[in-house]
Amino acid sequence: DIPLTQSPSSLSASVGDRVTIHCRASHSIDTYLNWYQQKPGKAPKLLIYAASGLQSGVPSRFSGSGSGTDFTLTITSLQPEDFGTYYCQRSFSPPQGVTFGQGTRLEIK
Protein backbone atom coordinates (compact mmCIF):
# COMPACT_ATOMS: atom_id res chain seq x y z
CA ASP A 1 0.00 0.00 0.00
CA ILE A 2 1.04 3.55 -0.70
CA PRO A 3 -0.74 5.87 1.71
CA LEU A 4 -1.96 9.25 0.49
CA THR A 5 -1.92 12.22 2.83
CA GLN A 6 -4.06 15.25 2.07
CA SER A 7 -3.59 18.73 3.42
CA PRO A 8 -5.24 20.62 4.83
CA SER A 9 -7.86 18.41 6.45
CA SER A 10 -10.33 21.25 6.23
CA LEU A 11 -10.47 24.81 5.02
CA SER A 12 -12.83 27.69 4.73
CA ALA A 13 -12.68 30.10 1.81
CA SER A 14 -14.73 32.85 0.24
CA VAL A 15 -16.44 32.96 -3.12
CA GLY A 16 -13.92 34.09 -5.70
CA ASP A 17 -10.90 32.79 -3.78
CA ARG A 18 -8.25 30.54 -5.24
CA VAL A 19 -8.13 27.26 -3.29
CA THR A 20 -5.36 24.68 -3.30
CA ILE A 21 -5.56 21.17 -1.86
CA HIS A 22 -2.50 18.96 -1.62
CA CYS A 23 -2.05 15.21 -1.79
CA ARG A 24 1.23 13.51 -1.01
CA ALA A 25 2.10 9.87 -1.68
CA SER A 26 4.66 8.00 0.43
CA HIS A 27 6.31 6.69 -2.75
CA SER A 28 6.21 7.77 -6.36
CA ILE A 29 2.96 7.02 -8.14
CA ASP A 30 3.89 8.72 -11.41
CA THR A 31 0.65 10.44 -12.45
CA TYR A 32 -1.73 7.72 -11.30
CA LEU A 33 -3.72 10.15 -9.20
CA ASN A 34 -7.38 11.15 -9.40
CA TRP A 35 -9.46 13.75 -7.58
CA TYR A 36 -13.10 13.46 -6.51
CA GLN A 37 -15.62 15.84 -4.99
CA GLN A 38 -18.26 14.54 -2.61
CA LYS A 39 -21.18 16.53 -1.29
CA PRO A 40 -23.02 15.46 1.88
CA GLY A 41 -25.25 12.46 1.28
CA LYS A 42 -24.14 12.10 -2.31
CA ALA A 43 -21.81 9.86 -4.25
CA PRO A 44 -18.33 11.06 -5.14
CA LYS A 45 -17.86 12.75 -8.51
CA LEU A 46 -14.72 12.41 -10.60
CA LEU A 47 -13.09 15.79 -11.25
CA ILE A 48 -9.53 15.10 -12.37
CA TYR A 49 -7.97 11.90 -13.70
CA ALA A 50 -4.33 11.03 -14.29
CA ALA A 51 -3.21 13.99 -12.19
CA SER A 52 -4.21 16.71 -14.65
CA GLY A 53 -6.96 15.48 -16.97
CA LEU A 54 -10.22 17.38 -16.59
CA GLN A 55 -13.18 15.00 -16.56
CA SER A 56 -15.88 15.78 -19.10
CA GLY A 57 -18.47 18.22 -17.79
CA VAL A 58 -16.31 19.51 -14.93
CA PRO A 59 -15.89 23.31 -14.89
CA SER A 60 -12.53 24.60 -16.05
CA ARG A 61 -11.94 26.37 -12.72
CA PHE A 62 -10.84 22.95 -11.46
CA SER A 63 -7.33 21.85 -12.37
CA GLY A 64 -4.82 19.28 -11.20
CA SER A 65 -1.06 19.12 -11.30
CA GLY A 66 1.86 17.12 -10.01
CA SER A 67 3.63 13.83 -10.51
CA GLY A 68 5.65 11.42 -8.43
CA THR A 69 4.74 12.08 -4.81
CA ASP A 70 3.22 15.57 -4.75
CA PHE A 71 -0.07 16.58 -6.30
CA THR A 72 -2.32 19.61 -6.19
CA LEU A 73 -5.97 20.29 -6.89
CA THR A 74 -6.65 23.96 -7.58
CA ILE A 75 -9.97 25.72 -7.74
CA THR A 76 -9.68 29.16 -9.26
CA SER A 77 -12.48 31.58 -8.40
CA LEU A 78 -14.32 29.45 -5.85
CA GLN A 79 -18.07 29.15 -6.39
CA PRO A 80 -20.79 28.53 -3.77
CA GLU A 81 -21.50 25.06 -5.16
CA ASP A 82 -17.88 23.96 -4.63
CA PHE A 83 -18.44 23.08 -0.96
CA GLY A 84 -17.92 19.47 -0.01
CA THR A 85 -15.15 17.00 0.70
CA TYR A 86 -12.38 16.39 -1.80
CA TYR A 87 -10.52 13.11 -2.05
CA CYS A 88 -7.42 12.13 -3.93
CA GLN A 89 -7.09 8.53 -5.08
CA ARG A 90 -4.25 6.43 -6.39
CA SER A 91 -5.28 4.41 -9.41
CA PHE A 92 -3.48 1.10 -9.71
CA SER A 93 -3.68 -2.32 -11.23
CA PRO A 94 -4.27 -4.77 -9.66
CA PRO A 95 -6.87 -2.82 -7.70
CA GLN A 96 -5.62 -3.91 -4.28
CA GLY A 97 -3.21 -1.00 -4.65
CA VAL A 98 -6.03 1.54 -4.87
CA THR A 99 -5.96 3.97 -1.97
CA PHE A 100 -7.78 7.17 -1.10
CA GLY A 101 -6.61 10.18 0.82
CA GLN A 102 -8.41 10.96 4.05
CA GLY A 103 -10.30 13.86 2.48
CA THR A 104 -10.27 17.66 2.66
CA ARG A 105 -13.45 19.35 3.77
CA LEU A 106 -14.06 22.66 1.99
CA GLU A 107 -16.46 25.15 3.49
CA ILE A 108 -17.62 28.32 1.84
CA LYS A 109 -17.43 31.36 4.14
Partner 1 sequence: EVRLVESGGGLVKPGGSLSLSCVASGFTFRTYDMNWVRQAPGKGLEWVSSISSDAYDVYYIDSVKGRFTISRDNAKNSLFLQMDSLRAEDTAVYYCARDYRGSTTFDYWGQGTLVTVSS
Nearer CB in complex with partner 1: 62/87: 87
Question: Which of 25, 49, 51, 82 is the binder for partner 1 (CB under 8 A)?
Answer: 49
Cα dist from 12 to 9, 37, 78, whole Å = 11, 16, 11
- x-or-dash pattern for partner 1, window 69-108, by CB under 8 A? ------------------x-x-xxxxxx-xxxxxx-----
Cα dist from 75 to 2, 28, 29, 61, whole Å = 26, 24, 23, 5
H helix or E strand, kind and range, residue 10: strand 10-13
Give the count of residues interacting with partner 1 (CB under 8 A): 25
Binding site for partner 1 (CB under 8 A): 34, 36, 38, 42-46, 49-50, 55, 87, 89, 91-96, 98-103
